């Protein structure tokens, strides 16, 4: 029905365009004078008005769409046609169709850019509303400060501390892997690599960045985790089959391209004159990098790491597939831990009851996640603004 | 005499050079590790998934017993029994009940259905002897591919000695929807679901994103309001995708009452998810068009909008489309937000419209990876190969477009 409505409205718009244009052309020849707007512009105005009216018709019909499905295309078509005829009836030589049309276009442009704000408001509203419902059932202090998380247990426990530590543990492993690898890769590519190597390595990193996380999760769960378990058992360590290490390692590899591409840009932005000055003092290349380039690039690199942390905390599929469900309060990377995102995903997959604390707790976790990532992004932005060096 | 060699200066220079070499080696090692990881990942997936593109068949001549299939009621004929019996007759030496049962389990359920369709299409076959193609079940298939060891080894060897087993490309993998039987499970439903979902995401996200970019880059005056919009867009670009899933669940499903599991909602969520990416890419493309072009248009009397829509936008379009393709590639691989809005159910039917319940390719991968049957692991890896193949095609298209249309001013 929606598809039909769209097609009908488009057809109405095309019809309005052609009819208005021919009307205006007739008027032009009859008057043998000039119109304030070209016939095509009259056409565009009629088409735009028809489209907007049609859309409005469709929107009005949405509440009835379950019982009267036919109303959607009918209302849309009726509104579009009426609006088109009304516009066409107003065509006169002095009618400034172009100005009206451009006003409509400008309105559409502004409305489009407001969608971004509406999205943020929507996200905020959805997590806040359901969280408020959750905190009516569960004390906020219990949520923030107790160390038991078992939403399906009897009685259920909603202490999110173990989830926070689990998230931080996996994030820490990921960042510990990704930062040195990404940073050294970026330094090598920016300062040492030949153009040929650069040309070959860039796509490799881009490809790694483009691999969907569900694929990485599959790889972590089925290949990396058993590998770690077996090698751990071989040297006498007790490794859980869903160890934090496996998820963290793979997540770290996922983040390497992010850190390396951001750092690469930042290192390249350090002016050559700084390097030349250092070389002139007799420093080797690595000394120049360590003592001149990196300090100059540090704020940018810090902000890249912040973004990487925010990415790791919000990453879902790798941990859903490779990390555990049981929220253990531990910092042992070989044990199984659970994360905020894992709990959100598992709580909301399957049956949802929007009156039970179990389902609503996912939204409370969502609000925590939203603010953590928001804060990290804000810090990253502030670091860049605060310490940005202006070179010229 | 002053000695300038490394030895003379107490080995300090040698140390510095060694440290230089070491530093360089760290960089090379980092790149090598990353490459090895990617290579290992791809090798692992491809070696696991490749066999799933093939299936094992055997064939057998059998009589379509009129006792089991009534000419007037072919649809309810017991074709599975015909096949079972004919296969057993081939192995008169197998007597124990358990072995007979195992023997029958080598043949997929689909064999009976295919025979039924054959007879339905041509009812004269009843009573005749026909050669029937037998699709083997997943476990037998894995054994003949050499992927598993099993307790039924003796029986399986006996079976293939009498009835030669051949491997052929599994078209079912491309034409079937999901199924509980690994040998019948296919990707068509997931691929169609993905196309619907991403199609809706582009239909909504592209115009919204481009319009917003045009406004912010070409028309908006710098004031608090536009600053707010910009901060918002940058923030949204960094919000975890699972949060968009929460938005979809609370807003689109609970508040607006849109259907669960539908590509329509999935597309809406993904449109909002990729919107910031499209806006940022489109703004960069618009900014790359030199202002002189716009000024020239304004100079000959075009209105501001005419200058932008007739001159700037067409020149920025290749860049916008390249950015859009990359954003869509991201949407195509996105899983987490779609789990939230219920696109994660077992759906055997191939969706016919964007409001039908459906799943998408990455979610199908997630679903299959969770199943206990060994054959589904292989299927999962095969589905990953398909997904990565599609993403690589999209990226190649974006690179091609960038090369072909990129203009330096």
Structural domains in chain A? 2-116 (no CATH), 149-387 (1.10.3720.10)
What is the arithmetic mean of pLDDT over B61-69?
A: 81
Residues B231 and B301 in one domain: yes
Residues B131 and B279 in one domain: no
Q: Do B239 and A314 touch (CB under 8 A)?
A: yes
Final residue of a structural domain among B144, B175, B206: B175
Share above pLDDT 90 across residues of chain B, in percent, rounded to a whole number: 44
| H-assigned helices in chain A | 2-31, 39-61, 71-89, 97-137, 140-145, 161-187, 195-210, 213-219, 225-234, 244-269, 272-280, 285-288, 294-314, 317-322, 340-348, 357-387
pLDDT of residue B18: 92
pLDDT of residue B204: 92
Question: What does each C-alpha distance from B28 to A193, A252, A297, B36, B288 come to in angstroms?
Answer: 9, 18, 20, 12, 35
Residues B151 and B169 in one domain: yes
More confident residue, B385 or B98: B385
Does residue B354 sit within a domain?
yes
Q: Do B243 and A127 touch (CB under 8 A)?
A: yes
Residue B190's pLDDT band, with cuts at 50, 70 and 90, is very high
- For residues B234 and A382, the answer to whether their CB atoms sit within 8 Å is no
B47–chain A Cβ distance below 8 A for any pair = no
More confident residue, B196 or A72: B196
B208–chain A Cβ distance below 8 A for any pair = yes
d(CA B358, CA A333): 38
Whether residue B67 is predicted with pLDDT greater than 90 in this model: the reply is no
- For residues B305 and B283, the answer to whether their CB atoms sit within 8 Å is no
A222-226's contacts with Cβ under 8 Å and 24+ in sequence apart are A222/B369, A222/B377, A223/B44, A224/A249, A224/A250, A224/A322, A225/A322
What value of ipTM does the predicted structure carry?
Answer: 0.89
pLDDT of residue A369: 94
Q: Do A341 and B355 touch (CB under 8 A)?
A: no
A205–chain B Cβ distance below 8 A for any pair = yes
Residue A156 structure tokens: 């259920």
Final residue of a structural domain among B114, B144, B175: B175
Give B59's strand partners: B133
d(CA A93, CA A75): 32
Closest CA to B273 of B200, B188, B378: B200
Residue A317 structure tokens: 């599929």
Residue B33's pLDDT band, with cuts at 50, 70 and 90, is very high
Residues B378 and B257 in one domain: yes
Question: What does each C-alpha distance from B292 to A25, B51, B299, B319, B320 come to in angstroms?
Answer: 34, 58, 10, 18, 20
A373–chain B Cβ distance below 8 A for any pair = yes
B313–chain A Cβ distance below 8 A for any pair = no
Residue with token string 């799933």: B52
A282–chain B Cβ distance below 8 A for any pair = no
- Beta-strand ranges (E) seen in B21-156 are 54-63, 129-135
C-alpha dihedral (B17, B20, B21, B23), degrees to nearest 10: 160
Three-class SS state of A350 = coil
Closest CA to B333 of B145, B198, B134: B198
B339–chain A Cβ distance below 8 A for any pair = yes
A308–chain B Cβ distance below 8 A for any pair = no
pLDDT of residue A91: 80
Residue B166's pLDDT band, with cuts at 50, 70 and 90, is confident
Q: What pTM was computed for the model?
A: 0.89
Cβ within 8 Å of B, A 229-258: 253, 256-257
What is the arithmetic mean of pLDDT over B271-292?
A: 93
Residues B210 and B139 in one domain: no
pLDDT of residue B199: 93
Give A157's strand partners: A150
- Using CA coordinates, name the residue in chain B closest to A198: B31
Give B132's strand partners: B60
Closest CA to B327 of B241, B259, B261, B243: B241
Does residue B3 sit within a domain?
no
Does residue B181 sit within a domain?
no
Residue B144 structure tokens: 């003949």
Contacts of A216 (CB under 8 A, 6+ apart): A250, A251, A253, A254, A317, A318, B41
Cβ within 8 Å of A, B 316-335: 329-330, 332-335
pLDDT of residue B6: 47
Closest CA to B401 of B387, B393, B310: B393
- How many Å is the Cα radius of gyration of chain A? 30
Q: Do B250 and A215 touch (CB under 8 A)?
A: no
Residues B301 and B386 in one domain: yes
d(CA B158, CA A276): 77
> What CATH number should be reported for the domain holding residue B233?
1.10.3720.10
pLDDT of residue B255: 85
What is the arithmetic mean of pLDDT over B93-101?
A: 83
B395 CB neighbours in chain A (<8 A) are: 206-207, 210
pLDDT of residue A244: 92
Mutation to test the B interface, candidates A174, A183, A212, A259, most B Cβ within 10 Å = A212
B335 CB neighbours in chain A (<8 A) are: 212-214, 316-317
Q: Do B28 and A214 touch (CB under 8 A)?
A: no
Whether residue B3 is predicted with pLDDT greater than 60 in this model: the reply is no
Left, alpha or beta for B386 (phi > 0: left; psi -120 to 50: alpha)? alpha
Does residue B4 sit within a domain?
no
Mutation to test the A interface, candidates B16, B38, B246, most A Cβ within 10 Å = B246
Measure CB to CB from residue A370 to each of B29, B243, B251 and give the nearest one.
B243
- For residues A250 and A220, the answer to whether their CB atoms sit within 8 Å is yes
Does residue B244 sit within a domain?
yes
d(CA A263, CA A299): 10
- Using CA coordinates, name the residue in chain A closest to B399: A203
State the nearest Cα–Cα gap between B15 and chain A, in angstroms: 11
Whether residue B35 is predicted with pLDDT greater than 50 in this model: the reply is yes
Residues B171 and B192 in one domain: no
Largest CA distance in chain B: 114
Closest CA to B379 of B173, B228, B149: B173
B251–chain A Cβ distance below 8 A for any pair = yes
Tell how strand B166-169 and strand B54-63 pair up: antiparallel
Each of the 392 residues of chain A gets a pLDDT tens digit; together they read 777 888 888 888 898 888 888 888 888 888 766 777 888 888 888 889 888 888 888 888 777 766 777 777 888 888 888 888 888 888 877 788 888 889 999 999 999 999 988 999 999 998 998 899 899 988 888 888 888 888 887 788 898 899 999 999 999 999 999 999 999 999 999 999 999 999 889 888 989 999 999 999 999 999 999 999 999 999 988 888 888 999 999 999 999 999 999 999 899 989 999 999 999 999 999 999 999 999 999 988 999 999 999 999 999 999 999 988 888 888 888 888 999 999 999 888 877 777 788 888 999 999 999 999 999 988 988 888 887 766 65
Three-class SS state of B5 = coil
Residues B159 and B198 in one domain: no
B216 CB neighbours in chain A (<8 A) are: 113
Closest CA to B207 of B270, B278, B103: B278
Domain count, chain B: 3
More confident residue, B50 or B127: B50
pLDDT of residue A231: 92
**DSSP code of B350?**
P
Left, alpha or beta for A350 (phi > 0: left; psi -120 to 50: alpha)? left
Residues B283 and B139 in one domain: no
Closest CA to B277 of B316, B237, B244: B237
Residues B161 and B219 in one domain: no
Residue B1's pLDDT band, with cuts at 50, 70 and 90, is very low
Residues B118 and B196 in one domain: no
Phi, psi for residue B187 in degrees, rounded to 5: -105, -5
Q: How many CB pairs under 8 A join A and B?
A: 254
Domain that holds residue B365: 188-405
Mutation to test the B interface, candidates A316, A320, A362, A381, most B Cβ within 10 Å = A316
Please tell me the least confidently modeled range out of A308-312, B37-41, B51-55, B155-159. B155-159
pLDDT of residue B117: 86
Cα angle, residue B404 at apex, residues B402 and B408 outer, rounded to 5° = 75
Does residue B1 sit within a domain?
no
Cβ within 8 Å of A, B 10-39: 16-17, 19-20, 22-24, 26-31, 33-35, 37-38
Measure CB to CB from residue B251 to each of A115, A126, A381 and give the nearest one.
A126
d(CA A326, CA A344): 13
Q: Do B228 and A117 touch (CB under 8 A)?
A: yes
Measure CB to CB from residue A116 to each of B20, B34, B236 and give the nearest one.
B236
Final residue of a structural domain among B127, B148, B175: B175
Residues B195 and B252 in one domain: yes
């Amino acid at each position: 029905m929606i598809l039909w409505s769209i097609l009908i409205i488009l057809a109405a718009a095309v019809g309005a365009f052609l009819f208005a244009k021919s009307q205006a052309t007739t008027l032009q020849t009859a008057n043998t004078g000039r119109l304030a707007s070209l016939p095509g512009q009259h056409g565009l105005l009629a088409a735009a008005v028809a489209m907007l009216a049609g859309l409005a018709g469709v929107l009005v019909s949405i509440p009835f769409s379950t019982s009267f499905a036919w109303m959607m295309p009918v209302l849309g078509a009726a509104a579009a046609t009426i609006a088109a005829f009304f516009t066409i009836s107003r065509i006169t030589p002095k009618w400034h169709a172009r100005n009206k049309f451009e006003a409509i276009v400008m309105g559409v442009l502004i409305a489009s850019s407001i969608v971004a704000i509406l999205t943020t408001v929507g996200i905020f509203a959805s997590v806040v509303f359901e969280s408020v419902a959750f905190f009516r059932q569960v004390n906020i202090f219990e949520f923030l400060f107790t160390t038991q998380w078992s939403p399906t247990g009897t009685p259920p426990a909603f202490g999110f501390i173990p989830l926070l530590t689990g998230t931080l543990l996996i994030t820490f492993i990921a960042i510990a892997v990704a930062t040195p690898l990404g940073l050294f890769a970026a330094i090598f590519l920016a300062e040492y690599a030949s153009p040929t190597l650069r040309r070959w390595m860039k796509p490799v990193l881009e490809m790694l960045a483009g691999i969907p996380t569900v694929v990485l999760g599959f790889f972590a769960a089925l290949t990396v985790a058993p590998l770690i378990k077996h090698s751990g058992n071989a040297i006498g360590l007790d490794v859980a089959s869903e160890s934090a290490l496996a998820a963290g390692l793979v997540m770290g590899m996922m983040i390497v391209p992010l850190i390396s591409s951001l750092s690469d840009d930042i290192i390249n932005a350090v002016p050559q004159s700084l390097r030349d000055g250092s070389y002139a003092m007799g420093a080797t290349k690595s000394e120049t990098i360590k003592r001149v380039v990196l300090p100059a690039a540090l704020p940018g690199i810090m902000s890249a790491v912040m973004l990487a942390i925010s990415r790791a905390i919000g990453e879902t599929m790798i941990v859903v597939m490779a990390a555990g469900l049981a929220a253990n309060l531990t910092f042992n990377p070989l044990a199984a831990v659970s994360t905020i995102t894992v709990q959100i995903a598992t709580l909301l997959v399957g049956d949802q009851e929007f009156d039970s604390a179990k389902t609503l707790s996912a939204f409370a976790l969502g609000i925590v996640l939203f603010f953590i990532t928001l804060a990290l992004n804000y810090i990253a932005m502030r670091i860049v603004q605060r310490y940005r060096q202006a070179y010229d | 005499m002053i000695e300038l060699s490394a030895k003379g200066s107490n080995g300090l220079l040698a140390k510095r050079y060694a440290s230089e070499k070491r530093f360089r080696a760290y960089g090379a090692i980092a790149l090598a590790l990353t490459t090895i990881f990617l290579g290992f990942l791809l090798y692992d997936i491809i070696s696991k998934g490749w066999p799933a593109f093939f299936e094992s068949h055997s064939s057998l001549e059998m009589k379509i017993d009129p006792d089991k299939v009534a000419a007037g009621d072919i649809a309810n004929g017991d074709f599975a029994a015909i096949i079972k019996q004919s296969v057993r007759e081939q192995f008169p030496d197998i007597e124990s009940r358990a072995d007979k049962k195992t023997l029958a389990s080598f043949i997929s359920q689909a064999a009976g259905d295919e025979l039924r369709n054959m007879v339905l299409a041509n009812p004269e076959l009843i009573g005749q002897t026909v050669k029937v193609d037998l699709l083997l079940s997943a476990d037998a298939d894995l054994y003949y591919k050499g992927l598993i060891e099993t307790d039924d080894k003796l029986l399986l060897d006996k079976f293939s000695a009498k009835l030669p087993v051949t491997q052929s490309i599994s078209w079912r993998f491309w034409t079937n929807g999901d199924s509980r039987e690994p040998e019948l499970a296919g990707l068509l439903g997931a691929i169609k679901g993905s196309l619907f979902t991403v199609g809706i995401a582009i239909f909504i996200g592209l115009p919204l994103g481009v319009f917003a970019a045009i406004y912010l880059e070409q028309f908006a005056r710098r004031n608090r309001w536009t600053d707010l919009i910009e901060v918002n867009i940058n923030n949204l670009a960094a919000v975890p995708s699972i949060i968009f899933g929460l938005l979809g669940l609370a807003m689109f499903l609970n508040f607006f009452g849109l259907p669960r599991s539908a590509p329509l909602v999935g597309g809406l969520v993904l449109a909002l998810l990729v919107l910031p990416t499209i806006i940022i890419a489109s703004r960069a493309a618009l900014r790359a068009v030199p202002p002189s072009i716009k000024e020239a248009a304004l100079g000959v009397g075009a209105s501001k909008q005419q200058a932008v829509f007739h001159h700037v936008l067409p020149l920025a379009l290749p860049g916008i489309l390249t950015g859009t393709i990359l954003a869509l590639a991201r949407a195509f691989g996105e899983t987490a937000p779609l789990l939230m809005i219920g696109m994660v159910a077992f759906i055997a039917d191939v969706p016919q419209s964007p409001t039908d319940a459906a799943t998408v390719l990455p979610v199908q991968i997630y679903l299959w990876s969770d199943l206990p049957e060994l054959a589904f692991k292989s299927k999962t890896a095969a589905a990953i190969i398909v997904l990565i193949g599609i993403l690589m095609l999209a990226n190649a298209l974006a690179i091609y477009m960038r090369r072909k249309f990129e203009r330096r001013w």
